[in-house]
Amino acid sequence: SKDKTLSWAERCKVAIGVAKALDYLHNGNSHPIVHRDVKSSNVLLSEAFEPQ
């Protein structure tokens, strides 16, 4: 549900996933992409709390 509080392990999993995604956008191909609006409300999570 939307009212669930994430554990610290889940929060770290999300933060690492977002960091890996941003690293890929910035460094993963020949045309870097800058998002310019990274915030928690812009991160979509799967049911397993993996950033999508």
Q: Are 5 and 12 in contact (CB under 8 A)?
A: no
Whether 37 sits among the annotated catalytic residues: the reply is: yes
Q: How far apart are CA 38 and CA 43, in angstroms?
A: 8
Annotated catalytic residue within 37, 40, 44, 52 = 37
Q: With H, G, I as helix, E, B as strand and everything else as coil, classify residue 35.
A: coil
**Which residues are identified as catalytic?**
37
